[in-house]
Amino acid sequence: NAGVMQNPRHLVRRRGQEARLRCSPVKGHSHVYWYRQLPEEGLKFMVYLQKENIIDESGMPKERFSAEFPKEGPSILRIQQVVRGDSAAYFCASSPFSGATSGSYNEQFFGPGTRLTVL
């Protein structure tokens, strides 16, 4: 079974360009989470999506960042007009269930991350 897949693994962009990060969850998982890890810092939650819906985007910057998880295909995290401060590792996680409502635990499986460098 393939785990969470992210591509590209490394992405270099110049200031002002767009960055598109892709995440394919574990097969059968319908819940996707994006986290950002700045250099020398811990992981910070950005956004939680289910198929075709954004459930919680409280951690995502209001401008330039957007995320989607279409009915078909991978989840996409899009950063427009990148700045040097966007340089970080972006991790995607997936889970089969969502917490309390399902009565089941919510173990998250992480991908290898995309390391974005903005020149």
Partner 1 sequence: KQEVTQIPAALSVPEGENLVLNCSFTDSAIYNLQWFRQDPGKGLTSLLLIQSSQREQTSGRLNASLDKSSGRSTLYIAASQPGDSATYLCAVSINTNAGKSTFGDGTTLTVKP
- Closest to partner 1 by CB, 38 vs 83, is 38
- Closest to partner 1 by CB, 2 vs 100, is 100
Using rule CB under 8 A, residue 61 touches partner 1: no
Give SS3 for 101: helix
Q: For residues 67-105, b (16+ Cβ closer than 10 Å) or e, as one string?
A: bbbeeeebbbbebeebeeebbbbbbbbbbbeeeeeeeee
- Closest to partner 1 by CB, 80 vs 104, is 104
Residue 2 corresponds to which amino acid? A
Size of the site for partner 1 (CB under 8 A): 30
Using rule CB under 8 A, residue 96 touches partner 1: no
Stretch that binds partner 1, among 13-21, 64-72, 80-88, 94-102 (CB under 8 A): 94-102
